[in-house]
Structure 1
Amino acid sequence: MNIVIEDVTFTYPSGTHALRGVTLRLDAGEAVAIVGENGAGKTTLVKHLNGLLKPTTGRVLIGDWDTREHTVARMAARVGYVFQNPDDQIVERSVGEEVAFGPRHLGRTPAEQAADATAALEMVELVEHTKTHPYDLTAAQRKLVTLASVLAMRTPVVIFDEPTMGQDARGVALIGRIVDGLKAEGRTVITITHDIDFCAAHFGRVVAMADGQVLADGPAADVFTRADLLATTNVEPPQLVRLAQALALPRAPLTVEGFVETLKGSGGAGEQGSK
């Protein structure tokens, strides 16, 4: 289902203006990364997508639902949200119960709950910890538990807030495969991330934010080559983009394969730039 954000502003009770006229449209099945420095308004924005926050002005539509007209519990059937800190999300005493929590509150049968939980734990490679207390796991594993708890709900929209934080290379690769799997299923995937290389590898569209506003919105390859704009958001381009620019290549691919092809086809450009 499509997501429409129309001229949304949001002011916290403290008086902080966190969003300043944000307008975006995310079509069903898109993979979108939201980047920017801390305090840019990224988390505030995505909390509007499942109703945790309501716009001060403007509106947010998830399909045909206006988030102002539905509870967070009801919005959870459409939008799954993996928090940045797993300890803010975990409520049950075993991994299996935690992952089944969402399906249970969506009204699924016990058999469906068990099947959904098992499938999600298999995706994050934690099925052997079904009976383990979540706080007997590492912080990185707890992050995967909360990811599984959202996957088990099978929502059409999935939001990841800093999914790779605290993960080693194996964990990052695992999360990347999960993101690619969700994209293949046609689900909308949104991430907030400071891991720009992960973003470049798995997300085709990038929204760059600063001071509660959208500074850039477009294909990742376009946004990540705008060094002047990224500097205002304290975001560095991906490593491959920086290398391509240093070699004066005609374009800046976001994948190793694309980089190699560009290097081969650049003739003397890459060789000259490397000198």
Structure 2
Amino acid sequence: MEAIELKNVSFAYPDGHVANEELNLIIQKGERVAIVGQNGAGKTTAVKLMNGLNKPTNGDVLINGVNTKMQTTAQVSAYVGYVFQNPDDQIFNSNVQKEIEYMLHYSKLDSQEIERRVSRAVELTGIESYLHMNPFDVPYSIRKFITIAMVLALETPYIILDEPTAGQDLHGIQTLTKLLDRLQEEGKCVITITHDMEFVADNFARVITMANKRIIADDSARNTFWSTEILTEARLKKPQIGEISEELGMEGNIIYRHELVELLNKK
């Protein structure tokens, strides 16, 4: 099976702090999944298990059927690309183009293939005008897209985005939405950690909710955001459209703008 599988996975840091407990999950290639929950829920630790940065204390993580315990982090990262929450943790080259090319040269790809991959990654992220600048001289929001481009250039079948909307304006969020659509068209799996519930509602059909180090729900966006139990345990809020429709007493568990507009037009 082409999928990321977590089987009864728990993870504890060397100091004994347990970050994840008994995670069971299958995310198939081509899926688009959001992972939500408050700080401390275990989201980032969980996705680091998926790309080999963490190895489970108990249980097994399988990438396309291969146990990560049997692979190095570098071997796992050939399948699962990870964009860190803080772009400054991933950037170290003197200009943006070198940053995107670095791992491609390390992988000994030929110049034509490197050019193709860089061109694609730059086009998808819209960072053409920054290629010859020092990454630390560009705005934080653009640095986020630089690190996304770095991972896109690796062309892994699975891509993890950790808080991609942080620091983004409307244009940045629209670029992210187009990127998600394009990657899904290409058959890529995208797993996104985010606190932005509007972004989740607008872009993800499947939502995995974490709280207290565990997965407490794996459901549609609509069912997730209209479950008082899930929202209370995970300390989440409905997207704004859902809150407005609830205040107006609208029926249908609305979370999308077009649904609210259609019902209001019928009034």
What secondary structure sits across from 1:207 in the alignment? Answer: strand
Counterpart CA distance in 1 for 2:16 and 2:23 is 18
Match of 2:107 in 1: 106
2:265 matched to 1:246?
A: no
Match of 2:175 in 1: 174
Counterpart CA distance in 1 for 2:81 and 2:144 is 14
2:122 matched to 1:121?
A: yes
Residue pairs, 1:1-275, within 5 angstroms = 1-264=2-265
Counterpart CA distance in 1 for 2:228 and 2:205 is 18
Counterpart CA distance in 2 for 1:59 and 1:19 is 13
Q: Is the 8 A contact 2:6 2:23 kept in 1?
A: yes
User: Which segment is superposed worse, 3-12 or 231-240?
Assistant: 231-240
Q: Is the 8 A contact 2:207 2:219 kept in 1?
A: yes
Q: Is the 8 A contact 1:252 1:259 kept in 2?
A: no
Percent identical among aligned pairs is 39
Counterpart CA distance in 2 for 1:253 and 1:31 is 21
Counterpart CA distance in 2 for 1:4 and 1:264 is 45
Structure 1 position 101, deviation (Å): 2.0
Structure 1 position 133, deviation (Å): 1.1
CA deviation profile, 1:201-225 (whole Å, cap 9, x unmatched): 1111111111110111111111111
Q: Is the 8 A contact 1:253 1:262 kept in 2?
A: no
What secondary structure sits across from 2:50 in the alignment? Answer: coil
Structure 1 position 263, deviation (Å): 4.5
Structure 1 position 260, deviation (Å): 2.6
What secondary structure sits across from 1:22 in the alignment? Answer: strand
User: Which segment is superposed worse, 143-152 or 180-189?
Assistant: 180-189
Q: Is the 8 A contact 1:80 1:155 kept in 2?
A: yes
Q: Is the 8 A contact 1:6 1:59 kept in 2?
A: yes
Counterpart CA distance in 1 for 2:213 and 2:262 is 38
Counterpart CA distance in 2 for 1:104 and 1:263 is 56
Aligned residue type for 1:3: I
Instruction: State the aligned residue count.
Output: 266
Aligned residue type for 1:39: G
Structure 1 position 262, deviation (Å): 4.4
List gaps (5 residues or longer) in structure 1. 266-270
Q: Which TM-score applies when normalising by structure 1?
A: 0.92
Q: Is the 8 A contact 1:221 1:253 kept in 2?
A: yes
Q: Is the 8 A contact 1:10 1:55 kept in 2?
A: yes
Structure 1 position 264, deviation (Å): 5.0
Structure 1 position 253, deviation (Å): 3.3
Q: Is the 8 A contact 1:221 1:254 kept in 2?
A: yes
Counterpart CA distance in 1 for 2:264 and 2:63 is 42
What secondary structure sits across from 1:48 in the alignment? Answer: helix
Q: Is the 8 A contact 1:5 1:60 kept in 2?
A: yes
CA deviation profile, 1:154-189 (whole Å, cap 9, x unmatched): 111010000000111111111111111111212111
Structure 1 position 248, deviation (Å): 2.6
Counterpart CA distance in 1 for 2:46 and 2:264 is 38
What secondary structure sits across from 1:40 in the alignment? Answer: coil
Runs of 4+ in 1 over 6 A off after TM superposition: none
Match of 1:268 in 2: none
Structure 1 position 232, deviation (Å): 2.1
